[in-house]
Chain A
Amino acid sequence: MDLLITGVGGQGVVLASDIIGETALAAGFDVKKTDTLGMAQRGGSVVSHVRLAEKVNSPLIKEGTADLLLAFEKLEAARWSHYLAPGAIVIINDYEQPPLSVGLGQVKYPSNDDIAAALKRRTDKIYFIDGNRKVKALGNVRTLNIFMLGCFSVFAPLDIAVWQESISRRMADNIREINLKAFAAGRKEIEGVRIG
């Protein structure tokens, strides 16, 4: 399974992809993952490639072959749409973080229709979820990445118990509980969501 995770610096993309990798390894898969960031700076575009299979060679996913795209930010979902395999699953957090050029009023942030159009070139299996609002209601906006992992876990060939163990291992005592809650909420979210 080839999975692309995209977002903006500071959203926890890299930690999320680490946890997926560790969960897959614990479940007996060969794993390779690589994070392609720009300069080591917040606010830039971030993408993580995660590959799990019996044997993985290249750490980079080939364009046009990703089975699933997990996007923490809307614009970043559209940016990587050319990586999708036909019929791939897309899970998008309905959250907008405007780049500086948008904030300065020089260019427009794409509409939801623009974003969907970019993705629909390849697939109709698009899940729009309202992650930021949901994790805010849970009490900690910083659990968004684990909430997104919960959404992804519905489609991943990995046991719940193994997920919970690898999330627990990565979290300090004081935030373990809230993150496990966010994970469960993410799983539940997918079941109640329309395919957009």
Chain B
Amino acid sequence: MNTPKTLQLLSGNEALALGAYHAGIQLAAAYPGTPSTEIMENLSRFKDIYAEWSTNEKVAMEVGMGAAYTGVRAMVSMKHVGLNVASDPFMAASMTGIIGGLVVVCADDPQIHSSQNEQDNRHYARLAKVPMLEPGDSQDVYDLMGYAFDISEEFDTPVLFRTTTRIAHSKSVVDAKGVRTVKNASPAFHFNVQKYVMLPVNALPRHAFIEKRLLRLKEYAETFPMNKIIRNGRKLGIVTSGVAYQYAREVFPKASFLKLGMTWPLPEKMIKEFAASVDRLIVIEELDPFLQDNIKSMGIPVTGKEFIPLVGELNTRIVTESGIGAGLLPETEKPDILSPADGLPRRPPLLCPGCPHTGIYFTLNTLGQRNKLLEAKGPAEPKLIITGDIGCYTLGAYPPLNVLDTTACMGAGIGQAMGMEKAGVKSKVVAVIGDSTFMHSGITGLVDAVYNDGHFTILILDNHTTAMTGHQEHPGTGISAQGEPTNAVDIESLCRGIGVKDLKVVNAFDVKALRDALRDSLAQPVLSVIIVRGACAMQVKKRANPRKVDAEKCVQCGYCLKLGCGAIQTVDGKVFIEPSLCAGDACGICQQLCPQKAIGI
């Protein structure tokens, strides 16, 4: 077999970055979030474009809009929940339109591999009345990127480019034939109040424009080359998009397919003709019945979600079993499948050995006597209420630390703490937030707490990176997305500037100092901020002197095991520290805690 040299094995995110680069983008803005993060990581390597990690997705969207208004091609990327944050400017961009192409990439997470919820962002395209493209593998991603920018400019609209985890993080073969062409090398903004200033007098005519734009897009969808019909038998016709196409194709090799690369607006004529050409029409799609409901509303009899699950990712097994249930496949197709072996220990992710969050979490756990909560029969009020946030530190919710009472969305912990305190709870309230999340959307919560006289404690766990998504830079680190030194926002001065009076900075690896600071802040009848500072364990290269347990002094009290450190294990009933995992001098927390002083170098 001969393979042309242009073929590469690329993940969806790599193909997306390359496709956008070839399409001539000059600006990209994003906030990291699984599964979208690698798009910006790949783009940031191209030094002839401007690429930034924005403080949050809303800001990224606004940066992208500004660039597009000057005529350059711009891209904004985020995970699905990020579009909730960015939805305000996103809806506005639909109203104003753009000049240079503006593509909004949104990566959904069916199956909740690494998110707080499962939502189908295809609804956003319908809500914002903008076109939406959906790829089925990395080649589709690459090819569709070119179309996305062309469509955006031709129709004066942002384009929603929707992927899912399985597209973003799968690798497949891509023939990346394009070469980078930049259409508008000299950006300029031209005064146009009717288009850009959405006062009621201008906004109403723009709404009328949007409705006309949608009709024109519908016409365009009828001949859009990435809406493809694959003809086989006429017995069964399947309408599908995204990765669901791949599963459906494998399970129903004899069916005819309408594979939609543009899933909003839908090509009504094309769908009607396809429906008329087959005996039975079904839709196979992940999550909500988005295509199905919209096809139904065209007056076409169609089924799908009656047998395809609404929850979680699809795969070939689920599609096969659903097909049998719907009478589309014979019982003999039923796969011969074993159940997973039972009784195996689970392996959930946990805080790394040497993690700077461990010490403060241990302190919260013991001060709040949180393990008693687990023993309570019914709902129990914690001695310390701990509102959490999104990041590595959310893993502190697992045993043995059990230190979070809430986790909702980026930045929510501070506002929740404020709400609980003002509602009048008797317990003390502590909000825990990471440094990147604080920049993202914690600052506005803090402003509220200062202004409205909150009396609770905020812990900013500052490990100087965005650790959860793979160590991206953020406004506090002093390094740009493209690796250049830049201004750093100083969290301490920021808090003081906002008006925080009781502010402490504590070393994350000094357990006594953590306890003293926390006790002091909880005793103060004011708003307190404690910045707990320590480097992320994965970024600490030097890990000298792993700790050892002195077997003679150790009385097997198990106190050190309450840290939940992966390096501290029990082998044959005896505590043992695995030297290859221990962070050594970079941490030393277990040594400080051991009541028998049995841990040392």
Residues of chain B within 8 A of A43, CB atoms compared: 347, 349-350, 352, 566
Residues of chain B within 8 A of A21, CB atoms compared: 9, 171
- B541 vs chain A, min Cβ distance (A): 14
Check: A178 CB closer than 8 A to any chain B CB: no
Residues of chain A within 8 A of B320, CB atoms compared: 62
User: A109 to B345, Cβ gap below 8 A?
Assistant: yes
- B324 vs chain A, min Cβ distance (A): 14
User: B349 to A25, Cβ gap below 8 A?
Assistant: no
Residues of chain B within 8 A of A57, CB atoms compared: 246-247, 249-250
- A46 vs chain B, min Cβ distance (A): 9
User: A62 to B317, Cβ gap below 8 A?
Assistant: yes
Bound CA–CA A108/B343 (angstroms):
10
Residues of chain B within 8 A of A31, CB atoms compared: 9, 171-173
- A121 vs chain B, min Cβ distance (A): 6
Bound CA–CA A78/B343 (angstroms):
10
Residues of chain B within 8 A of A8, CB atoms compared: 347
Residues of chain A within 8 A of B316, CB atoms compared: 58, 60, 62
Bound CA–CA A103/B113 (angstroms):
25
Bound CA–CA A111/B564 (angstroms):
24
Bound CA–CA A79/B339 (angstroms):
10
- A15 vs chain B, min Cβ distance (A): 12
Given the known A-B contacts A39-B349, A41-B349, are A27 and B114 also in contact in the complex, defined by CB atoms under 8 Å? no
User: A44 to B171, Cβ gap below 8 A?
Assistant: no
Identify which of A28, A33, A42 contacts B352 (C-beta below 8 A): A42
User: A78 to B341, Cβ gap below 8 A?
Assistant: yes
Check: B338 CB closer than 8 A to any chain A CB: yes
Identify which of B8, B335, B568 contacts A64 (C-beta below 8 A): B335
User: A98 to B569, Cβ gap below 8 A?
Assistant: yes
Q: How many CB-defined contacts (below 8 Å) exist between A and B?
A: 169
Bound CA–CA A65/B350 (angstroms):
31
Residues of chain B within 8 A of A38, CB atoms compared: 113-114, 348-349
Check: A187 CB closer than 8 A to any chain B CB: no
> B6-50 interface mask toward A, CB cutoff 8 Å, 1 = contact, 0 = none?
011100000000000000000000000010000000000000000
Check: A145 CB closer than 8 A to any chain B CB: no
User: A36 to B1, Cβ gap below 8 A?
Assistant: no
Residues of chain A within 8 A of B247, CB atoms compared: 57-58, 60
User: B561 to A33, Cβ gap below 8 A?
Assistant: no
Given the known A-B contacts A59-B243, A62-B317, A100-B566, are A28 and B171 also in contact in the complex, defined by CB atoms under 8 Å? no
Number of interface residues of B (CB under 8 A): 55
Say which size band chain A's interface belongs to. 35 or more
Bound CA–CA A79/B345 (angstroms):
9
Residues of chain A within 8 A of B538, CB atoms compared: 42
User: A104 to B570, Cβ gap below 8 A?
Assistant: yes
- A57 vs chain B, min Cβ distance (A): 4
Residues of chain B within 8 A of A110, CB atoms compared: 343-345
- A14 vs chain B, min Cβ distance (A): 10
Residues of chain A within 8 A of B469, CB atoms compared: 40
- B264 vs chain A, min Cβ distance (A): 24
Check: B340 CB closer than 8 A to any chain A CB: yes
Residues of chain B within 8 A of A78, CB atoms compared: 341, 344
Check: B297 CB closer than 8 A to any chain A CB: no
Check: A174 CB closer than 8 A to any chain B CB: no
Given the known A-B contacts A9-B349, A29-B1, are A103 and B7 also in contact in the complex, defined by CB atoms under 8 Å? no
Given the known A-B contacts A58-B246, A78-B344, are A32 and B137 also in contact in the complex, defined by CB atoms under 8 Å? yes
Interface centre among A42, A58, A64 (most CB of B within 10 A): A58
Kindly report which residue of chain B lies nearest to residue A77, judged by CB atoms. B341
Check: B192 CB closer than 8 A to any chain A CB: no
Bound CA–CA A38/B35 (angstroms):
11
Given the known A-B contacts A82-B338, A100-B566, are A32 and B172 also in contact in the complex, defined by CB atoms under 8 Å? yes
Given the known A-B contacts A40-B468, A100-B566, are A58 and B3 also in contact in the complex, defined by CB atoms under 8 Å? no
Bound CA–CA A30/B470 (angstroms):
30
Kindly report which residue of chain B lies nearest to residue A102, judged by CB atoms. B345
Check: B336 CB closer than 8 A to any chain A CB: yes
Check: A177 CB closer than 8 A to any chain B CB: no
Check: B423 CB closer than 8 A to any chain A CB: no
Residues of chain B within 8 A of A34, CB atoms compared: 166, 169-171
Q: A9-B349, A59-B246 are in contact. List 14 more A-B contacts (CB 8 A).
A: A27-B1, A31-B9, A31-B171, A33-B172, A39-B349, A40-B114, A43-B350, A59-B137, A62-B317, A65-B335, A79-B341, A82-B337, A101-B345, A109-B345
Q: 9 interchain pairs (CB within 8 A)?
A: A21-B9, A38-B349, A40-B469, A43-B350, A59-B137, A76-B347, A79-B341, A79-B347, A98-B345
